[in-house]
Structure 1
Amino acid sequence: MSDSYKNQSRKEKWESDVEKVVQKFPERKEKFHTSSDIEVENLYTPNHNSQTYEEGLGYPGQFPYTRGIQPTMYRSRYWTMRQYAGFGSASETNERFRYLLKQGQTGLSVAFDLPTQIGYDSDDPMAEGEVGKVGVAIDSLKDMELLFDQIPLHEVSTSMTINAPASILLAMYIAVGEKQGVEPGQLTGTIQNDILKEYIARGTYIYPPKPSMRLITDIFAYCQKNLPKFNTISISGYHIREAGSTAVQEVAFTIANGVAYVEAAIEAGLEVDKFAPRLAFFFNAHNQFFEEAAKYRAARRIWAKIMKDHFKAKDQRSWKMRFHTQTGGSTLTAQQPDNNIVRVTMQALAAVMGGTQSLHTNSKDEALALPTEDSARIALRTQQIIAQESGVADTVDPLGGSYYVEALTDKIEEQVNDYLNRIEKMGGAVQAVEEGYMQREIHQAAYDAQKRMESKEEIIVGLNEYKLEEEINPDLLRVDEQLEAGQIERTQQIRSARNQKNVDKCLQGLKQAAMSNENVMPYIVEAVKAYATVGEIANVLRNEFGEYSGM
Structure 2
Amino acid sequence: MSDLKKKTDSVAESPSRDVFEGRNPSQSEKDWAEQTLGPALEKSPERPIGRATGSNLDENGHARFSTISNVPIRRLYTPADLPEDWSYDQHLNYPGQEPYTRGIHATGYRGKLWTMRQFSGFASPEESNERYKFLLAHGGGGLSVAFDLPTLMGYDSDHPFSEGEVGKCGVAIDSLEDMEILFDGIDLEKTTVSMTINSPASILWAMYLAVAEKQGADWKKISGTLQNDILKEYIAQKEYIYPPAPSMRLVIDTFEFGSKYTPRFNTISISGYHIREAGSTALQELAFTIYDGVEYVEWSQRRGLDVDEFGPRLSFFFNAHNDFFEEIAKYRAARKIWYRLMRDRFGAKNERTWLMRFHTQTAGVSLTAQQTQNNIARVALQALAAVLGGTQSLHTDSFDEALALPTAQAAQIALRTQQIIAYESGVANTIDPLGGSYFVEKFTLDMEKGAFDYFDKLDAMGGMVKAIEKGYPQKEIAEASYQFQKAAEAREKVIVGANEFIVEGQPSDTLYIDESVGEAQTKKLKALRSRRDNASVQRALDALKKAAAQEPKAGENGNISPVNTMPFIVDAVKAYATVGEICDALRSVYGTYEESAFA
TM-score interval for Structure 1 and Structure 2 normalised by the shorter chain: over 0.9
Q: CA deviation at 1:9?
A: 4.1
Residues 426-477 of structure 1, C-alpha deviations (whole Å, 9 max, x = no match) = 1111111110000000000000000111111100000000001224x31110
Q: Letter of the aligned partner of 1:503 in structure 2?
A: V
Matching of residue 33 in structure 1 with residue 69 in structure 2: no
Q: Residues 418-429 of structure 1 correspond to what in structure 2 (within 5 A)? A: 418-429=453-464
Q: Letter of the aligned partner of 2:136 in structure 1?
A: L
Matching of residue 529 in structure 1 with residue 574 in structure 2: yes
Q: Letter of the aligned partner of 1:11 in structure 2?
A: K
Q: CA deviation at 1:37?
A: 2.8
Q: Residues 134-149 of structure 1 correspond to what in structure 2 (within 5 A)? A: 134-149=169-184
Matching of residue 198 in structure 1 with residue 198 in structure 2: no
CA distance in 2, matches of 1:69, 1:202: 29
* 2:38 match: 19
2:326 to 291, 295, 301: 291
CA distance in 1, matches of 2:402, 2:82: 39
Matching of residue 151 in structure 1 with residue 186 in structure 2: yes
CA distance in 2, matches of 1:215, 1:481: 33
CA distance in 2, matches of 1:15, 1:138: 67
* 2:553 match: none
2:513 to 479, 492, 498: 479
1:386 to 421, 445, 454: 421
* 1:513 match: 547
Residues 162-216 of structure 1, C-alpha deviations (whole Å, 9 max, x = no match) = 0000000000000000110012112110000000000010011000000000001
1:322 to 357, 361, 365: 357
CA distance in 2, matches of 1:39, 1:139: 49
Distance of aligned partners of 1:424 and 1:98 in 2 relative to their CA distance in 1, 3 Å threshold: same
CA distance in 2, matches of 1:36, 1:88: 36
CA distance in 2, matches of 1:65, 1:525: 38
Paired residues in the alignment total 546
Q: Residues 74-93 of structure 1 correspond to what in structure 2 (within 5 A)? A: 74-93=109-128
Percent identity between the aligned chains? 58
2:262 to 227, 236, 245: 227
CA distance in 2, matches of 1:76, 1:11: 44
CA distance in 2, matches of 1:147, 1:234: 22
Matching of residue 209 in structure 1 with residue 228 in structure 2: no
SS of the counterpart of 2:360?
A: strand
Matching of residue 132 in structure 1 with residue 167 in structure 2: yes
* 1:504 match: 538
Structure 1 window deviating more from structure 2 (178-187 vs 379-388): it is: 178-187
Matching of residue 403 in structure 1 with residue 438 in structure 2: yes
Q: CA deviation at 1:16?
A: 3.0
Structure 1 window deviating more from structure 2 (433-442 vs 7-16): it is: 7-16
SS of the counterpart of 1:362?
A: coil
SS of the counterpart of 1:164?
A: coil
Q: CA deviation at 1:6?
A: 12
1:442 to 457, 467, 477: 477
CA distance in 1, matches of 2:105, 2:25: 41
CA distance in 1, matches of 2:34, 2:286: 35
* 1:268 match: 303
1:306 to 341, 346, 361: 341
SS of the counterpart of 1:185?
A: coil
Q: CA deviation at 1:55?
A: 0.8
Q: Which has the larger radius of gyration?
A: 2
Q: CA deviation at 1:150?
A: 0.2
Structure 1 window deviating more from structure 2 (19-28 vs 538-547): it is: 19-28
Q: Letter of the aligned partner of 1:89 in structure 2?
A: S
CA distance in 2, matches of 1:7, 1:376: 50
Structure 1 window deviating more from structure 2 (183-192 vs 398-407): it is: 183-192
* 1:43 match: 76
Question: Aligned Cα RMSD in Å?
Answer: 1.2
SS of the counterpart of 1:82?
A: strand
Distance of aligned partners of 1:20 and 1:535 in 2 relative to their CA distance in 1, 3 Å threshold: same
CA distance in 1, matches of 2:246, 2:504: 52
Matching of residue 492 in structure 1 with residue 537 in structure 2: no
SS of the counterpart of 1:121?
A: coil
SS of the counterpart of 1:494?
A: helix
CA distance in 2, matches of 1:192, 1:524: 17
1:218 to 241, 253, 260: 253
Distance of aligned partners of 1:8 and 1:527 in 2 relative to their CA distance in 1, 3 Å threshold: same
CA distance in 2, matches of 1:363, 1:139: 27
The answer to whether the Cα contact below 8 Å between 2:226 and 2:268 also exists between their aligned partners in 1 is: yes
SS of the counterpart of 1:287?
A: coil
Matching of residue 66 in structure 1 with residue 101 in structure 2: yes
Q: CA deviation at 1:10?
A: 5.4
* 2:142 match: 107
CA distance in 2, matches of 1:7, 1:514: 65
Q: CA deviation at 1:46?
A: 1.1
* 1:464 match: 499
SS of the counterpart of 1:536?
A: helix
CA distance in 2, matches of 1:103, 1:13: 52
Residues 392-415 of structure 1, C-alpha deviations (whole Å, 9 max, x = no match) = 000000010001000110111111
Matching of residue 546 in structure 1 with residue 591 in structure 2: yes
CA distance in 2, matches of 1:36, 1:262: 29
The answer to whether the Cα contact below 8 Å between 2:166 and 2:515 also exists between their aligned partners in 1 is: no
Matching of residue 432 in structure 1 with residue 463 in structure 2: no
CA distance in 1, matches of 2:543, 2:505: 59
Distance of aligned partners of 1:9 and 1:351 in 2 relative to their CA distance in 1, 3 Å threshold: closer
Q: CA deviation at 1:540?
A: 0.6
Q: Letter of the aligned partner of 2:444 in structure 1?
A: T
Matching of residue 335 in structure 1 with residue 380 in structure 2: no
SS of the counterpart of 1:186?
A: coil
Q: Letter of the aligned partner of 2:490 in structure 1?
A: S
Structure 1 window deviating more from structure 2 (407-416 vs 354-363): it is: 407-416
Q: Letter of the aligned partner of 2:489 in structure 1?
A: E
Q: CA deviation at 1:501?
A: 1.1
CA distance in 1, matches of 2:45, 2:154: 58
SS of the counterpart of 2:220?
A: helix
Structure 1 window deviating more from structure 2 (123-132 vs 378-387): it is: 123-132
Residues 261-280 of structure 1, C-alpha deviations (whole Å, 9 max, x = no match) = 00000001100000000000
Q: Letter of the aligned partner of 1:277 in structure 2?
A: P
The answer to whether the Cα contact below 8 Å between 2:68 and 2:322 also exists between their aligned partners in 1 is: no
CA distance in 2, matches of 1:518, 1:389: 52
Q: CA deviation at 1:35?
A: 2.6
TM-score by length of 1: 0.98
The answer to whether the Cα contact below 8 Å between 2:225 and 2:268 also exists between their aligned partners in 1 is: yes
Q: Letter of the aligned partner of 2:538 in structure 1?
A: D
SS of the counterpart of 1:337?
A: coil
Q: CA deviation at 1:19?
A: 1.2
